[in-house]
Amino acid sequence: MTRLDLVVEGGRALVDGTPLELPPGADPAAALVAHAQDRARIEGPVLAHLRDGAGTDVWVNVGADGAVTPAEEPNLDSDPVSTPPTALSAWSTEPRQPGGRGWSNRFKRDDVAPSRRALLVGGSAIGALALAGGGWALATAGDDERPPEPASSTPSRSVVLPNGQNAPAGWLEQAVWSVEDVADPKPQVDVRDGMFAVLTQPPGTGAVEVVVAGARDGRRRWSKTLEVGEIVTDGPFILNRDGKLIVFVATPKRLLGWELRTGVSFADHAFTTEDASVGFGLLGAWIGTGGRRFYGLTKKGLAPFDIPDKASCFGTIGDRMLVVDSRAQAWKLESGKPEPEPVKLQGPKDATPGGVVAVTDEVLVLAWNTWRNVALRAYDLETLKPRWTTPSEPRWEAYLGTARIAPDQTWATVGNRRVDLTSGKASVIAAKWTPVAISDGFAWGDDGSYILACDRSGELVSGKPTHRSNETVIVVAGYGDQAFATSAAYGTPTLYSLNRAV
């Protein structure tokens, strides 16, 4: 069970000592309880220790459904499972830095803002707790006084997979939840910070919806309906922009973005040319205009860049756009300034560049070809100097189209190999392996007959496949031990969440 210490101090809301970002005028007590409820829906039950500005302490249990009930103060001497919280009086008031570099530190963020719905339900009677007389007072249990969700996104519990469609080896046939009316039989599903984004298209509406839901429970957090007849050409992708996780989609006419946690609009950029296109990468989104002029999302907003001939864009680093050409020349362009001299990326001896394989928020990874062999080399994004190089090995199709990068950016599958993105250590997963999907914990691949899976160390999971690839649901993403898979066996594409079998 997750344990949280929630403190109101000097008008601030602290979660385990880290300030919680609050909208103007928000009640810090209500925001803290809303944060605990959101965490419980994503991570499971929470034991929350609440302390107000007057030093009043309350212990409560927060269920996965958001219900809040009183709890006894744990006996720390007989509770060896969880490490007791540090004494509140000894806490520093300085905010702690979220752990890990990764994509927006998204797996250790306690300083994310609570949902707008939770704050609006909050105040002196949040539907769970109220701050009364300077102390915490228990009010109504639960937080289920909300409008019913559309049937198209209401998760179904204990759903059986369609007849003739089976789970991949190592996962259960019974789905934990499902989301119907997915807009594509093999949809783009992005998972970050315990939430996922997917497109749906409820029948009879003629409109596509961008839906964000909890990865654990499949419960909708918010949705945005596009204009009737408007199609999505790419996305949704969840990208880090200045510390905020943003859900982006592209249409033939617009680049749209919303804050992952709240659904608040972040971007709505209309294209000025008919041949405009949008690209997405871990460093952000950019708009091409059919020539050398590109627009990148920088800290200052959408900025124009003129990229070198035969170069490709890979996103923005601060206010500069990263571009690389086929000769392994790299530029960090600044909007409105002359093109600088390129940096020639240093390759292994007697090797020729084979193209960009992956870009994370820390490294640029290129393939280098020698006679019948391939090696990968990573370059630090700040200095563009080599950071690590994999051994040169034969029969390795190391190209961008075959790479799958884990959301936490610590590892990837490239061709039939697992690659550690922090050290360059690589290992063969299977003799035949075409990457299909990846999560932080697992990756899935097709050996031409069956869907295989490996863990983050590159070891194949136990369980011999018994169903052919065409008899297995399509794995598109994952979260924790869950595999997210789709099937259109009954005519309506549906997204299923499957738990591990062992």
pLDDT per residue rounded down to tens, the chain (502 residues) = 778 888 888 778 888 777 777 666 677 788 888 888 877 876 778 888 888 766 677 888 888 777 888 887 765 444 333 333 322 222 222 222 222 222 222 222 223 333 322 332 333 223 334 332 333 444 333 333 333 333 334 444 457 787 778 888 899 988 889 999 999 888 999 999 899 999 999 888 889 999 999 999 999 999 999 999 889 989 999 998 878 899 999 998 889 999 999 999 998 888 776 667 888 888 888 888 878 888 888 877 788 899 998 899 998 888 899 999 999 999 999 998 888 899 999 999 889 998 899 999 899 999 998 888 889 999 999 999 999 999 888 877 655 567 899 999 999 999 889 999 999 999 999 988 889 999 999 999 998 899 999 999 999 997 778 888 888 889 999 998 999 999 877 678 899 999 998 7
Q: Which domain holds residue 123?
A: 2-138
Give the model's pLDDT for residue 54: 67
Give the model's pLDDT for residue 444: 95
Residue 371 CB burial class (10 angstroms; 0-12, 13-18, ≥19): exposed
Report whether 179 contacts 151 (CB < 8 A). no
Write down the pTM of the prediction.
0.67
Give the model's pLDDT for residue 482: 93
Q: Is residue 277 part of a domain?
A: no
Query: What gap in Å lies between CA 300 and CA 260, rounded to an integer?
Result: 20
Q: Is residue 80 part of a domain?
A: yes
Q: Is residue 124 part of a domain?
A: yes
Q: Is residue 307 part of a domain?
A: no
Q: Is residue 55 part of a domain?
A: yes
Q: Is residue 83 part of a domain?
A: yes
Report whether 365 contacts 359 (CB < 8 A). yes
C-alpha dihedral sign at 385, 390, 394, 397: negative
DSSP annotation string for 135-197: EEEE--S----SPPPPTTTSPPSSEEPPTT-BPPTTEEEEEEEEE--BSSSS---EEETTEEE
The residues, any chain, with a CB within 8 Å of residue 209's CB and separated by 6 or more, are 152, 153, 183, 199, 200, 201, 202, 223, 224, 225, 226
Query: What gap in Å lies between CA 17 and CA 25, rounded to an integer?
Result: 21
Q: Is residue 126 part of a domain?
A: yes
Q: Is residue 57 part of a domain?
A: yes
Judge if the upstream peptide bond of residue 236 is cis by omega within 30 degrees of 0: yes
The residues, any chain, with a CB within 8 Å of residue 288's CB and separated by 6 or more, are 276, 277, 278, 279, 294, 313
Tokens of 389: 């190089």
Residue 102 CB burial class (10 angstroms; 0-12, 13-18, ≥19): buried
Q: How many domains does the chain have?
A: 1
Query: What gap in Å lies between CA 477 and CA 443, rounded to an integer?
Result: 9
